[in-house]
Amino acid sequence: MTALVEWFDDLDAVAADAAGALDRSAQPCLFDRLDWFRLTRTHVLPDARLAIARVRRGDASAWLFLIDAGSRIAAPLASWYSLCFGPIFSGASDDALLGNLYQAAGRRFDRVALHPLRFAEQAPLRAAAFRPFASRVFTNWIINIPDEGFEGYWSARPAKLRNTIARRARSHPVRISIHRRFEPSAWADYEDVYRASWKPAEGSPAFLHALAEQEGAAGTLRLGIAHDAEGRAVASQFWLVENGIATIHKLAHRENARAGSPGSLLSHAMFRAAIEEDRVRRIDFGLGDEPYKADWMDTPRPVYRVDAYRLASLRGMAGFGREVASRLARRRALD
């Protein structure tokens, strides 16, 4: 059966073509939904030239949300808020359909960058006449919750962490609230804490605000705020809980409250609520190699970037040559 290929440069046209196949009810992963790409487009990449490929064979479809970066180069329609990216399927998916999708990309682009990927997509790209290079760029920490629930989870944490939480709860108690719907006052506390934290300025506060409103309406938002004895918000965390998985998107604490470990106290409460109240089976700490995550999690997973070059074109061959030279130079520098 022939695969039908179409390109879109407008998300409304994608919505009409997908007919609900990219909505929340059809896609369990937040990062595979049209709503996610709309937020990214509106608040992070408003000037990007969209190049969205869709292939369809029978009742099965696959999409790849790309940006046309010029000079026959494609980048992902993703940002620093994207915790994963990749082809999106509806209906029965297989390697042949994925190959059709990459073949379509190869007819339009000589270089395609895909990231962040939980799996390095190499064999289907090779089958579509690309030469891919995979690089590990992040770590994704997760933990699968034991049958014993929170007590089983907490007893398995390092003694140093458990003792720190017990001491700080006595010496620097905090009042914790976890909001499951968007509340402007709680969001103001979140932003106030973030501005007073050690973290750099937020890339797109409007994106996060819109995401929190959207997910609050859907019931997946878990916005945790910790207040000290004076009523000041000293730590905040932005989680989403859906389909048995809790994902930690953002967390911060006031730098001048660091001695009381309010962020750790809030994490303890958020983990307990996710496990005991939401009954999640997994907690995902997003992207990042920060050492402290190993205290709360137990499984690090690699996250990749793949740069693929079409060797049948001069531009693709030139890019391939530069990639090889760059990798050889980095290898020699490490020797």
Residue 269 CB contacts under 8 Å (≥ 6 apart), including other chains? 176, 178, 224, 226
Quick one: pLDDT band at residue 44, thresholds 50, 70, 90?
Answer: very high
Instruction: Give dist(CA 291, CA 294) in Å, integer.
Output: 6
Q: Model pTM? A: 0.94
The pLDDT tens digits for 9-33 are: 999 999 999 999 999 999 999 999 9
**Residue 334 confidence (pLDDT):** 78
Instruction: Specify the CATH superfamily of domain 146-280.
Output: Gcn5-related N-acetyltransferase (GNAT) (3.40.630.30)
Residue 331 or residue 219, greater confidence: 219
* 227-248 average pLDDT score: 97
**Residue 326 confidence (pLDDT):** 86
Residue 213 CB contacts under 8 Å (≥ 6 apart), including other chains? 182
Same topology between domain 4-137+304-334 and domain 146-280? yes
Quick one: pLDDT band at residue 7, thresholds 50, 70, 90?
Answer: very high
Query: What are the extents of the domains in the chain?
Result: 4-137+304-334, 146-280
* 250-273 average pLDDT score: 97
| Lowest-confidence pick of 44-48, 64-68, 98-102, 157-161 | 98-102
With a cut of 90, say whether residue 84 has pLDDT above it. Answer: yes
Q: Where are the alpha helices (DSSP H) in the chain?
A: 11-18, 34-43, 95-108, 123-127, 149-155, 159-171, 184-195, 205-218, 262-276, 293-296, 314-334
The pLDDT tens digits for 265-319 are: 999 999 999 999 999 999 999 999 899 999 999 999 999 999 999 999 999 999 9
4-137+304-334 CATH fold: Aminopeptidase (3.40.630)
**Residue 38 confidence (pLDDT):** 98
